[in-house]
A and B are shown apart, each in its own frame.
Chain A
Amino acid sequence: KAGVTQTPRYLIKTRGQQVTLSCSPISGHRSVSWYQQTPGQGLQFLFEYFSETQRNKGNFPGRFSGRQFSNSRSEMNVSTLELGDSALYLCASSQLTGTSTDTQYFGPGTRLTVL
């Protein structure tokens, strides 16, 4: 079974631009979560989608948004990029058969650099 895939792997943008990152979960997984990883703040939860609905949201400004499609693929968008948005963005998928925590499997990440 193929793992979680993320595209693109690397991205360079300038301040003020917007960016869209894509995540394809493991086949059969319906939950997709997004995390931001930086040296200063570590791994921080952005949001989680399940069946095309955002179920959880972390403490990030509204510039960060996401969506999930009917095939469970997910995209996240960051508008009006700031230098501090430079980070590794990780996507994770899980089967999530109920309301309890399920095991999350991570993709390789997208490295975003904002100049």
Chain B
Amino acid sequence: AQSVTQPDIHITVSEGASLELRCNYSYGATPYLFWYVQSPGQGLQLLLKYFSGDTLVQGIKGFEAEFKRSQSSFNLRKPSVHWSDAAEYFCAVGARNNDMRFGAGTRLTVKP
């Protein structure tokens, strides 16, 4: 069965600093991988997705993620964090028939 682990529950970075959020997945076949962001009280917004092809994926708001099959990872990165990036970030793995599993989420705090 597929599963997702986000090892960091909470991360604090300074505005302007770089960011990396970790995501490890467990899945028997080639996974479909997603990163979503959720602001307080809101739904989830898709940041980026990986289905196949280039393992470095560009998303919205300056985010990117790299799929590393050998490490079963799909880490999210941003070179310079803005205060508006403070939110909760979810990594998800999808299988057939839209059966998606989400990680527990990483809450990002941005210090001025």
**B44 beta carbon closer than 8 Å to chain A:** yes
B43 touches A43 (CB 8 A): no
Contacts between the two chains (Cβ within 8 Å), count: 63
Chain A, interface size category, equals: 20 to 34
A48, B46: Cβ atoms under 8 Å?
no
Question: With an 8 A cutoff between CB atoms, is A21 at the interface?
Answer: no
Q: Is B34 part of the binding interface, using a Cβ–Cβ cutoff of 8 Å?
A: yes
* Count of chain B residues near A, Cβ 8 A: 23
B94 touches A101 (CB 8 A): yes
A92: nearest chain-B partner, CB-CB: B44
Task: Known contacts A102-B98, A106-B44; decide if A42 and B32 are in contact (CB<8 Å).
Answer: no
Which of B44, B90, B99 is the one whose CB lies under 8 Å from A45? B99
**Sample (24) of A-B pairs whose CB atoms are under 8 Å apart:** A4-B43, A33-B98, A33-B100, A35-B102, A42-B102, A45-B100, A45-B101, A48-B97, A55-B97, A56-B98, A99-B96, A101-B32, A101-B95, A101-B99, A102-B98, A103-B49, A104-B46, A104-B98, A106-B43, A106-B45, A106-B46, A108-B42, A109-B41, A111-B41
Task: Spell out B's residues near A (CB within 8 Å).
Answer: 32, 34, 36, 41-46, 49, 90, 94-105
Q: Which 4 A-B pairs have the closest CB atoms?
A: A101-B94, A43-B102, A106-B43, A106-B44
